[in-house]
Structure 1
């Protein structure tokens, strides 16, 4: 796709900025870009064949989400959440996700349950596969479970909050995760889906909190090494 557009053309610039923002966001969430990676406006602009002005707009949008940190006279970097920020993110998830589960349980349909089972089947298929691409797909499938539940709750505000929280959790896990297995256990997802299918809301909420506790317990202070910007964006 040709994204060589002028920053003065508002009708074209907005989609181009969105494309850059989406590509960077995906690379961050899927842990192809590690926390602390420098996002040079010049380098990103060269990769996408756009002006630095368009790149700057995309980086500002990501900064608003908490995924990018912009520093005066230094540039933009993939956010590097502190241990305290990590705790706050998971504390927020413990507050919000039981509410999402409760709301989803009131509205859930057979089609919704089928969709959850399809997600779980895909997650199971990816579990244990080798290679960076398989691992990346497993991470995405794992996050999709939480985001799909948020969508089923029927509350667009909570869904938007969860989108940000899942993205920021991915950053935290990329920085502090110590396990080589999925940070979002497949079996725990299955248990939550089973409880929802039975209509056992209390158990589903309790399992969700236990699940979030389990993710947080898998964190330590060790860093994971990132990869090159061009390689991460697959351009």
Structure 2
């Protein structure tokens, strides 16, 4: 009997300790001395530098629209096709050498440049090679959406595109259905592309200090991977009620087994 009693206690202990608590679920908790509860994010993310395979949307404007028509041959098409496919076919893709092919100007190297730097570069080249200063041209350059991938313990895995300049990781996850109850918010992986290859980074989204992390704001082509909690791997319930139900079932089986073996 004592052996069965010890087994029962062990099972109960494991199941009760495997409950998913608020500390596992709540984002941006103050885990320090309370001074972080009103944390202000003073440091903005560094400007993104364009990489290979990025797609740029470049628009040249002037008082005389006919004057810049050659540089915007697909402007009307873009107005009717503002989606990933339209941007893919009508945007300027950065090739393996870091160049884009621009009308009249030919190849322009943009690898490692920020969006503002590319605007200045294109405008400068246009004024140098094609326009006069009196043309009063205006160049706008944007990334054709912030594209990222989410996989793992989330509501909806997949590749997403948001048409915003800045997106933090919580917004990105919310757009993918948020992290499920069995997802590990304390160790979310961000796989980021760099000129020399991909690197894996870790961020604890249950800690308010995550807002100071360089990976709090996502970048184009980021992969966000949410691992399952260890509790899920042992098949424990997510809540106390689920665990009580499991314990009751196990107790019922153990008691029945005990009396059956006793009567043999």
Same fold (TM over 0.5): no
Which of 1 and 2 has greater Rg?
Answer: 2
TM-score normalised by L of structure 1: 0.22
Bigger share in strand: 2
TM-score normalised by L of structure 2: 0.20
